[in-house]
Chain A
Amino acid sequence: MTIEAQTRLYTQDDLRDLEARPENADKFFELIEGVIVEVAGTSAKPTTIAARISFYLNAHVLPLNLGWITSADGRFELGSIDNLIPDTAFVSRARQPQLPDGSFTIAPDLAVEVVSPSDNLRAVQRKAKRYLILGSTVVWVVYPDDQAVEVYRLLPDGNVSLQEVEVTGTLELPDLLPGFSLPVSKVFPK
């Protein structure tokens, strides 16, 4: 939700000021390309799905010490006008050798967003593309009701590529996590 009619790009300081207000104590906000957006409250299905993906990513990443998996309160403070909170994300140890004390200041290698039916396609796509422009390699956009995942990547010409993986398919990350394989059916609760 946009906070107010905007006449300029908001910054990290604006976001901090907004979050410091007492009336916002229980709220989460993101800053996406200079626009402050309130993060909608999560319902059972999306948060369960995000937790499952996080579990399977951790099951691959932790034993091999490949990096960091964040959950839905993991912040990515990226430059002056982006502060994003993916539902889960992977940051490789190669790009981030040590965990930072505060927010991550590099884009995750993989960002995962779980969509609710009320979400707006344009907003979903804008956020996915923003991750890619800011340095993410892959974005998974998960559609619980359709039991499908859209895999977003940035093409060399600046276009965005979307590959649909249906419930019978498998999510893989050969360029980020070789050997990782997650059947989409395992992501969705029965």
Chain B
Amino acid sequence: MTIKKALHLNSDEFSGLVAQKDARSQRIELVDGLLHELPPSYLLHAFVAASIGIALGAQANGQRGRVLNTYHYQLSPQDIRLCAVGYLPVDAVSRVIVPSVVAPPPLLAVDVASPEMSPRWLLDKVRAFLKAGTKQVWVLYPVDKVIDIARLDSNGALSLITLDSSAHLDGGGLISGFSLPVSKVFPK
């Protein structure tokens, strides 16, 4: 469960917090202008995020794309959210001002579900990315060893497909040639 601080910030103030050197400042988000502290990232979560990040990075770098690990993305003036892995076109990355600690919305966002996250929190976060222009969000469930692929359909509804360990992830039209067995994302 996230901890909502009774603290209203604008995006510059939030970026200032993220830029601080302590690890705690790296696990925060700005949601509707309110500061939220996220649960810690457990070893299992870090492992599955790295599995995806490495595989995406290997494929994306040849396609004028860049993969960022655990980074903040500005989704609106009041929303800066963290995700475990983001895929952006090279030109979007190059537009990021060097000292910035916040990137524009990724084309693809990957996040890892944590037991402390309430169901609505995660759904809201997925929607926030998609409404900001992200084409797909992949939500990894390490305990169940499944991945939800989320998109917005033409009516604005969230469309979800669940991939189990017998399925393959593909780039969803964003990263051509990408293919990764779901079973390889999660440890045996």
Do chains A and B interact in one complex? yes
User: Which A residues are closer than 8 A to B by beta carbons?
Assistant: 115, 117, 119-122, 124-125, 129, 141, 143, 145-146, 148, 150, 155, 158-164
Q: Which of the residues B1, B123, B160 comes within 8 Å of A159, measured between beta carbons? A: B160
Closest 4 CB pairs of A and B: A121-B119, A162-B158, A163-B157, A159-B161
Residue pair A143, B157 in contact (C-beta under 8 Å): no
Given A120-B119, A143-B119, A161-B158, output 20 extra A-B contacts at Cβ < 8 Å.
A117-B118, A119-B118, A121-B117, A122-B144, A124-B119, A141-B119, A143-B120, A145-B120, A148-B120, A159-B159, A160-B159, A160-B162, A161-B157, A161-B159, A161-B160, A162-B157, A162-B159, A162-B160, A163-B157, A164-B158
- Could you show 17 A-B contacts with beta carbons less than 8 Å apart? A121-B123, A122-B144, A122-B146, A125-B148, A129-B162, A141-B119, A145-B118, A145-B120, A146-B120, A159-B160, A160-B160, A160-B161, A161-B157, A161-B158, A161-B159, A162-B123, A163-B156
Find chain A residues with CB under 8 A from B122 CB.
121
Q: Chain A's nearest CB lies how many Å from the CB of B137?
A: 12
- Residue-wise interface mask of B (136-147) relative to A, using a CB-CB cutoff of 8 A (1 in contact, 0 not): 000001011010
What separation, in Å, do the CA atoms of A177 and B148 have in the docked complex?
31
What separation, in Å, do the CA atoms of A148 and B158 have in the docked complex?
15
Q: Is the CB of B135 closer than 8 A to any CB of chain A?
A: no
Q: Chain B's nearest CB lies how many Å from the CB of A69?
A: 25
Residue pair B1, A117 in contact (C-beta under 8 Å): yes
Q: Is the CB of B169 closer than 8 A to any CB of chain A?
A: no
What separation, in Å, do the CA atoms of A119 and B122 have in the docked complex?
12
Residue pair A122, B113 in contact (C-beta under 8 Å): yes
Find chain B residues with CB under 8 A from A124 CB.
119
Of all chain B residues, the one with the shortest Cβ separation from A151 is B157
Interface class of chain A by DSSP = mixed
Q: Chain B's nearest CB lies how many Å from the CB of A48?
A: 19
What separation, in Å, do the CA atoms of A115 and B117 have in the docked complex?
13
Find chain A residues with CB under 8 A from B148 CB.
125
Q: Chain B's nearest CB lies how many Å from the CB of A121?
A: 4
What separation, in Å, do the CA atoms of A164 and B120 have in the docked complex?
10
What separation, in Å, do the CA atoms of A122 and B145 have in the docked complex?
11
Find chain B residues with CB under 8 A from A155 CB.
153, 159
Residue pair A119, B161 in contact (C-beta under 8 Å): no
What separation, in Å, do the CA atoms of A150 and B157 have in the docked complex?
10
Q: Chain B's nearest CB lies how many Å from the CB of A27?
A: 23
Q: Chain A's nearest CB lies how many Å from the CB of B150?
A: 9
What separation, in Å, do the CA atoms of A112 and B91 have in the docked complex?
46
Find chain A residues with CB under 8 A from B27 CB.
none
What separation, in Å, do the CA atoms of A163 and B127 have in the docked complex?
11
Known: A125-B148, A164-B127. A119 touches B119 (CB 8 A): yes
Find chain A residues with CB under 8 A from B157 CB.
161-163
Residue pair B1, A161 in contact (C-beta under 8 Å): no
What separation, in Å, do the CA atoms of A148 and B119 have in the docked complex?
12
Find chain A residues with CB under 8 A from B155 CB.
163
Interface centre among A121, A122, A124, A129 (most CB of B within 10 A): A121
Q: Chain A's nearest CB lies how many Å from the CB of B166?
A: 15
Q: Is the CB of B115 closer than 8 A to any CB of chain A?
A: yes
Q: Chain A's nearest CB lies how many Å from the CB of B59?
A: 24
Find chain B residues with CB under 8 A from A125 CB.
119, 148, 160, 162
Q: Chain B's nearest CB lies how many Å from the CB of A112?
A: 15
What separation, in Å, do the CA atoms of A83 and B130 have in the docked complex?
35
